[in-house]
A and B are shown apart, each in its own frame.
Chain A
Amino acid sequence: MNRGSRLRPLRPLLAGLLCALAAGCTDRMLGPHAAPDHAAVFDELWREFDLHYALFQMKGVDWAAVGAVYRPRALAATSEQAFASILGEMLNELRDPHVVLTPTGVGGSLRYLTHCDTVALYFDERFIFDRYVPVTVLTPGGHMRYGMAAPAVGYIQLSSFVGEEWGRSEIDAALAGLPGARTALIIDVRNNRGGSVEIATQIAGRFADRSRVYGYLRLRDGPGHDDLTDFIEERVDPGPNAGYPGAVFVLTNRRDFSSAEDFVLAMRVLPGVTVVGDTTAGASGGPLLHELPNGWTYELPEWIEYTPDRRIFEEIGLAPQVVVKPTALDMAAGLDPVLARALQLARQAP
């Protein structure tokens, strides 16, 4: 029997099975879709936070009571804008800048503004480049600006950790561009609102002497608000070309959020690193993006982050070792007292 004749009886069977594959019954067998009406969207949002938000107990929020208050208001909303606004108000009860609702097609993202978003910082980065670091260069990816702040003292500005896979290459490029910075390096992360934890720790790893624990995470791990995993170590590991011979000063302020705080945590466990400036914002929950049945999206923090001595810094922030708080007078005089203090310390560095 040749191959063609052997396959002939298979043809009706194969044709039938191909039809079964192509018939699209796979979707129908999954059951009904979640409805996109206001009640279903509200319930989905409330339930997902109830099941996954990690910081209820730490923040002392009675989520059931919040839901009971806002559900009737949300269902009474007469427009999509009003509905989104009420959902935003409900999420604001969490006082968490990582909680973001994006009502796609209706308006911009709704996010809780902390006091760190609105407090006067008396900081203007133009003063840095006018007075302290007059000549600067951007790294090839454009994520870092660097220059010499004093003889043998380099300066690197890191204004964001957003993006993918640029941490190691950019810090290597910046350090290669500062061959004279042998005594000290100033890394300025003021007004850095975060981004990728991986990039933040990759850059910190460039200064690491060995693998060190810089913090801990506890992830939401069950339906109870106090269901959390055990402490999970966060480590900073030395990357390729790791090591810097001089002192390192990290500049911080109240507008350092999220991954910028991971960077500060990772740097401050390394030898020879001093943090100068003001306390960071204290926004530590790792958010994941989720969808709602109507196509809107939201960010939901699923962890609590701890310092190496297992203290929560959410809503508290990370205090610097050397506190310098700029004033309105500094601003009026075009001064950056934080950078000035770091320069003073750098000049005294061995």
Chain B
Amino acid sequence: MMLARRRVATALQRALSDCQPGRPTTRVRLRESGSCERGTPSGWTRARLLSLVALPASLLVLDPGAVGAQELRSWGHGLAVSAGVLRVGQADETISPLHFVGSGVALDVGWRRTRGRTSLEAGFEGGAAILSPTDDSDGPGERLARASARFAGMRGLGHARDGGAFALGVTARTFATVTGYRAASSLPMQSAYLFAGVTLGPLARWHAATPAGELAVEMSTGLVSWVDHPYGSIDRGRPLLDFRLASPAALRNGSTRVVWTAASGRRLDLVASYRFDYLAYRDVQPVRSVGQSLSLGVRIRPRGSGT
């Protein structure tokens, strides 16, 4: 068992270290054929994809005997509900060549269950915003509604030198954004557009306890993605579902979340979170989207769970 684990770890390390753009050509042993040639994006992409998905996945199934074994007490069960403000910018060339930006409201519901060093999480995020063109054009406007659901499995890796704790895992996320577009016209010309997808990728979390609570930073990115981006407006009978596999080069996306939990020692904690999302989809009609949200809420812990 230990030997097999070591072999997997060695292979993954090679995949990560050898297959860097700009490095001399090196064969990646995890692949059956072909090489990670210098300047060949597909080789780099495939190796990165494989390694970054496989590494956290392996941590979930293998016994992490090589890392610190301290219990991550602050990972207790709990349901967190928070609401706040949302700032969104969007440039979707299916809709308009203009960039739109605006503000709205955000809602975040998250649930976490921990057993030992393993944590499972599920969550829902929703938001709505009214957007206007960034170049101050008169007339056109967008109403944006977006929702996403996330599922994550994480494994604690132990403590860093600064007293914080690291965890790695995988996250699957589904998202959908519906944009209602109102044209700059006296006629009631409105249309709706959809951008949706499913992504799977790694998630890293660092958190540290302080006298007043806990600060956590989470970063995730989707590496394997299926995208549903109908070619035009969806209110004319166009089929809504047309999922296509998108390479990591075609769909670049990431999310960073900073969460402060002010521990009360009771079942109800105050939670403040800041989220930054970025998405760029390279297609015939590219999409770029940036979102920031700041939310305040509470975390409710069941009786008998950790702090």
Q: Interface of A with B (CB < 8 Å)?
A: 1, 3, 5-10, 13-14, 17-18, 20-21, 26-27, 29-31, 33-34, 44, 51-52, 104, 162-164, 196, 217, 219-223, 227, 229, 232-234, 286, 288-293, 295, 297, 302-303
Contacts and interface: CB of A to CB of B under 8 A. Distances in A.
Nearest to B288: A30
B85 interface: yes
Contact of B284 (A1, A223, A286): A223
A29 B290 contact: yes
Contact of A162 (B187, B231, B239, B289): B187
Contact of A33 (B134, B238, B264, B291): B134
A99 to B, nearest CB: 15
A286 B236 contact: yes
Please report whether the interface of chain A is mostly helix, strand, loop or mixed according to DSSP.
mixed
A8 B212 contact: yes
A295 B183 CA distance: 11
Contact of B237 (A26, A232, A293, A297): A232
A234 B236 CA distance: 10
Given A6-B213, A21-B292, A196-B188, A30 B99 contact: yes
Contacts of A9: 210, 212-213, 260, 262
A31 B289 CA distance: 10
A21 B102 CA distance: 11
Contacts of A18: 294
A217 B238 CA distance: 9
A20 B85 CA distance: 12
Contact of B183 (A220, A229, A297): A297
Of listed A20, A44, A286, residue having the most chain B CB within 10 A = A20
Contact of B274 (A20, A51, A286): A20
A97 to B, nearest CB: 15
B285 interface: yes
A325 B136 CA distance: 51
Contacts of B262: 6-7, 9-10
9 contacts: A6-B264, A21-B85, A26-B87, A30-B289, A217-B237, A229-B238, A297-B185, A302-B233, A302-B236
Given A10-B270, A104-B184, A289-B185, 9 more contacts: A26-B88, A26-B292, A31-B288, A217-B237, A220-B231, A291-B137, A291-B140, A291-B183, A303-B236
A14 B188 CA distance: 41
A30 B191 contact: no
Interface stretch (B11-19, B31-39, B90-98): B90-98
A256 B106 CA distance: 47
Contacts of A290: 96, 183
Interface in B114-155: 134-135, 137-138, 140
Contacts, number: 136
A44 B85 CA distance: 34
Contact of A221 (B185, B231, B294): B231
Nearest to B210: A9
A20 B293 CA distance: 10
B278 interface: yes
B227 interface: no
A303 B278 CA distance: 33
Contacts of A234: 237
Given A7-B262, A29-B89, A33-B135, A293 B212 contact: no
B211 to A, nearest CB: 8
Contacts of B99: 27, 30, 33
Interface in B267-307: 270, 272, 274, 276, 278, 284-285, 288-292, 294
Contacts of B61: none
Contact of A44 (B97, B101, B140, B288): B97
Given A20-B292, A21-B85, A27-B99, A302 B232 contact: yes
A297 to B, nearest CB: 6
B258 A17 contact: yes
B237 A219 contact: yes
Contacts of A7: 262, 270
Contacts of A20: 274, 276, 292
A293 B93 CA distance: 12
Contacts of A3: 270
Interface string B209-251: 0101101000000000000000111001111000000000000
A6 B85 CA distance: 22
Among B237, B264, B285, the one with the most A-chain Cβ atoms within 10 Å of its Cβ is B237
Given A9-B210, A27-B99, A17 B274 contact: yes
Given A163-B188, A291-B97, A10 B260 contact: yes
B188 A219 contact: no
Contact of B260 (A13, A29, A227): A13
Contact of A21 (B87, B90, B285): B87
B98 A52 contact: no
Contacts of A13: 215, 258, 260, 272, 274
A284 to B, nearest CB: 13
A20 B291 CA distance: 11
B189 interface: yes
Contact of B97 (A163, A196, A292): A292
A295 B97 CA distance: 10
Given A13-B258, A31-B288, A219 B236 contact: yes
A105 to B, nearest CB: 10
